[in-house]
Structure 1
Amino acid sequence: MEQISRTWWLVLIRGIVAIIFGILALIWPGITIYVLVIFFGAYAIVSGIFALFAAFGHGVQSKAWLIISGILGILAGIVAFVWPGITTLALLYVIAFWAIFTGIAEIVAGIRARAVIENEWMMIVGGILSAIFGVLLIIWPASGALALIWLIAIFAIIYGIVMIVLSFRFKKLAPQT
């Protein structure tokens, strides 16, 4: 824990960058998806770089995952800059198919959970909504892309807030000098 607490500020910066990314996406909703892809690319590269820096201050178990996360973030950012059109469509379809498959998995899990838990219908309804969302993205990619901007922006802001709170919790763990 002490190693994580020493790099609390990296988590803070990741949170701030996520919030800035989310706010910019909300402020300029009329700007094309191209700009969002550029924002995403910049965020992915910055986040990847900070994940790599953080990896060298952590224990062996989390180090590999932070390195992988950092490299993937940097690569995703580069792809977004080099092929913004393909990135936009690919990102949309990845999210669509992810929503469909996770929706189906939640429906199956909800049905199987009937014997174990109550209110499993909530998991089933969540799965249905996720699958419908994915299908709608495939049917109407342009409308889905605009809606996706808002969802990504809101996610980035919430994620950023969580990272900032987490960074201050890590800071409290730091040894006082």
Structure 2
Amino acid sequence: MEETVGAEGARMMQFIPWWLVLIQGIILLIIGGYLIAYPLQTLFVLLIFLGAYWFVSGIFGIISAAMTKQDVAWKVVLGILGIIAGLIILTYPYYSTILILPLLAIVIGVWGLFMGFVYLFRGFATKDWGAVILGIIGIILGIIILGNTLVTAILLPYIMGGFAILGGIVAIIGSFMMRK
């Protein structure tokens, strides 16, 4: 099965040109650098893009619900929520920047707890001690994040910037490996 997944991934990578991955890596490096150098200003700009994306995505969701009869209720609800969220962010971008960071920190903390418990239970069920350790780490990090939401919210742009820089480096290296 692992060989199948690896072969499938290799086939999918054939359809993505190497230069597109290189551009993505360069953009990630730039965004990461800006997030670390100018965290609030960069988050403000990214949040405006997110608001515009949610607004347009909501419109497309409603159009999709009108065109196809599959999952109409979900498409309409998600479309309306996307339009509302997009309008709120675009109307009040400064407030949104201040409110979204702590909300994102809470979501990350809850997700860390959830995934920690999932890994913990799976690890005990399969006697996989690596998963148990990951579960414990996830639970501890989730508790730390939820206990210090404001500190996490303040550090989030720097953490995101670090991950963007790391992702950019990996994408650039990967693009040159794809080219060979």
Distance 1:86 1:138, change over 3 A: same
Q: 1:126 aligns with which of 134, 153, 156?
A: 134
**Structure 2: where are the runs of 5+ without partners?**
1-10, 52-81, 91-95
1:110 and 1:124 in contact (8 A); partners too: yes
Distance 1:100 1:170 in 2: 37
Distance 2:87 2:111 in 1: 20
Q: How far apart are 1:21 and its partner, in Å? A: 1.8
2:104 and 2:153 in contact (8 A); partners too: no
1:142 paired residue number: 150
Q: Which has the higher helix share?
A: 2
Q: 1:25 aligns with which of 17, 35, 43?
A: 35
Aligned-pair identity in percent equals: 26
Report whether the alignment pairs 1:11 with 2:24.
Answer: no
Q: 1:93 aligns with which of 103, 106, 112?
A: 106
Quick one: which amino acid aligns to residue 38 of structure 1? F
Report the number of matched residues: 131
Once the two structures are superposed, residues 23-62 of structure 1 have per-residue CA deviations (whole angstroms, 9 ceiling, x without a partner) of 222334xx5xx435225447879xxxxxxxxxxxxxxxxx
1:21 and 1:39 in contact (8 A); partners too: no
2:163 paired residue number: 155
Q: How far apart are 1:111 and its partner, in Å? A: 0.9
Q: Return the structure number with greater relative CO, CA threshold 8 A, min gap 6.
A: 1
Which structure has the larger Rg?
2
Quick one: which amino acid aligns to residue 107 of structure 2? V
Once the two structures are superposed, residues 77-128 of structure 1 have per-residue CA deviations (whole angstroms, 9 ceiling, x without a partner) of x6896332333233222211111111111111211221xx5xx1x3222222
Aligned pairs for 1:28-177 (under 5 A) are 28=38, 34-38=40-44, 40-41=46-47, 82=90, 83-114=96-127, 117=128, 120=129, 122-172=130-180
2:35 and 2:43 in contact (8 A); partners too: no
